[in-house]
Structure 1
Amino acid sequence: MKKSFTLYAFILLVLINIFTYMFLSKEVKFEQNRYEKTTKKLRDSVALMTDKLIDANYFSLENNENAQNYFDSAIANKTIAYEKLIPVVTEKLMDLNANPKGNPYVGQDQIGVNKFVINKVKVLNHRWIIADYSDGKMWGEVLLKYFVNEDESISFEVMQSLLYAQ
C-alpha cells in the first residue's frame, strides 16, 4: 500500500511539473510576443510623431536653410546668427505688450476694457512672423513683416490681422 501511494504521488508530482513547465514556457513566449508587438507600435507612433513634427516645423526659420542664408549672405555687410535672432525678435515683440493700449502690432484697436496682447510668436522665415493674440475674451492671429535695420534694431509691420468671432 505504501509503495502504490508513493508511486501515485511520484506520478502526480511528475505530471504537475510537466504542466507547470509547459505553462511557464508558453507564458514566456506570449510575453515576448506581446513585448515585440508593443515595441513595434511604439516605434511606429514615434516615427509618425517625428514626421508630423517635421511637417509642422517646415515653415520655421530654424529649418529653412534659404532664410538662414539670407542672414549669412556674403553680400550683406554683417552676419546675424539666426539662433540669436529668433529670441531677440520674439522678445522685442512681446515687450510691446506693456503698452497701456495693448500691443500695437496686433492690428486691432482695444475693444473692451482689456487690451490685446500677443501670447505666442513663431518666426516663419527671414521676413515673416505669425503671432497669436487675445484680450482674455477674444482671440486672433496676425501676420507680421519684420526687418532688421542697419543699427540692428527690429521694426515690424502688420500684413494681415484676423480676429475670431466669439
Structure 2
Amino acid sequence: MKKSLMLYLFLLAILMNIFTYMFYSREVKFEKERYDKTTKRLRDSINLVSGKLAEADYFSLEHNENAQNYFDNTASGGKVILYEKLIPAVTEKLLDLNENPNGNPYTGQDIIDGKKFIINKIKVLNHRWIIADYSNGELWGEVLLKYFVDDKENITFEVNQSWLYQK
C-alpha cells in the first residue's frame, strides 16, 4: 500500500510538473506575441504621426530648401542669413510690436471696444510669407504678412490680408 501511494504521488508530481511547464511556456509565448503586436501597432502610430507632421510642416521655412537658399547671397557678394537665427528674430520683432498702446499694427485691425489686438502665434512659411493668429480677448483672426530682410538684416513687415472672425 505504501508503494502504491508513493507511485501515485510520484505520478501526480510528474503530471503537475508537466502542466506547470506547459502553462508557463505558453504564457511566455502569449506575452511575446502580445509584445510584438503592441510594438507593431506603436511603430505604425509613430509612422502615421511622423507623416502627418511632415505634411503639416510642408509650408515651413525650416523644411523648404528653396526658401532657405533665398537668404544665401554669397553669389551676389552679400552675406548669408541663417534661417535658424532669422525665424526667432522675425518672431521676436513681430511680438515686440504687441507692446504698442494701439495694439500690434500688423494685425490689420484697429482698437475695438477699447481692446487692442495683439499677435499670439506666428508661423514663418517661407522666405517671404508669415501667417499669424491675433486676438483682443473677445475677437480673433488671422493675418497673412509679407516680410522683407535687407542687406543690413533689418526686418520690415507688410500686411497682405487680414481676417477677423465673427463672434
Which TM bucket (shorter chain)?
Answer: over 0.9
| C-alpha distance in structure 2 between counterparts of 1:8 and 1:70, whole Å | 88
Structure 1 residue identity aligned to 2:97: L
Q: Deviations over 1:136-163 (max 9, x none)?
A: 1221111000011243211100001111
Matching of residues 1-166 of structure 1 within 5 Å: 1-73=1-73, 74-75=75-76, 77-166=78-167
Deviation at 1:76, TM superposition (A): 5.7
Aligned length in residues:
166
Aligned-pair identity (%): 69
| C-alpha separation in 1, matches of 2:89 and 2:77 | 20
Say if 2:118 and 2:135, in contact at 8 Å, map to a contact too.
Answer: yes
Residues 99-119 of structure 1: CA deviation (Å, up to 9, x unaligned)? 111111011111123211111
Q: Is the 8 A contact 2:101 2:116 kept in 1?
A: yes
The root-mean-square deviation of aligned C-alpha atoms, in Å, is 1.2
Distance 2:126 2:20 in 1: 66
Report the more deviating stretch, 142-151 or 53-62.
142-151
- Secondary structure of the corresponding residue to residue 31 of structure 2: helix
Segments of 5+ residues of structure 2 without an aligned counterpart are none
- 1:135 to partner: Cα distance: 1.2
How many Å separate the matches in 2 of 1:66 and 1:152?
Answer: 19
Q: Secondary structure at the match of 2:145?
A: strand
Contact 2:78 2:151 survives alignment (8 Å) = no
Structure 1's consecutive aligned runs of 4 or more residues displaced over 4 angstroms after TM superposition are: none
CA contact (8 A) 2:117 2:136 kept: yes
Q: More deviation in 119-128 or 106-115?
A: 106-115
Q: Which moved more, 1:24-33 or 1:108-117?
A: 108-117
TM-score by length of 2: 0.95
CA distance in 2 between counterparts of 1:113 and 1:16 reads: 83
Could you tell me the TM-score, scaled by structure 1's length? 0.95
| Distance in 2 (alpha carbons) for counterparts of 1:55 and 1:131 | 19
Where 2:156 maps in the other structure, the secondary structure is strand
Alignment partners' CA distance in 1, 2:112 and 2:139: 9
Distance across 2 between alignment mates of 1:76 and 1:101: 41
Following the alignment from structure 2 to structure 1, what is the Cα–Cα distance between the partners of residues 145 and 87? 14
Return the alpha-carbon distance in structure 1 between the equivalents of residues 69 and 61 of structure 2: 10
Higher mean C-alpha displacement, 1-10 vs 34-43: 1-10
3-state SS, counterpart of residue 62 of structure 1: helix
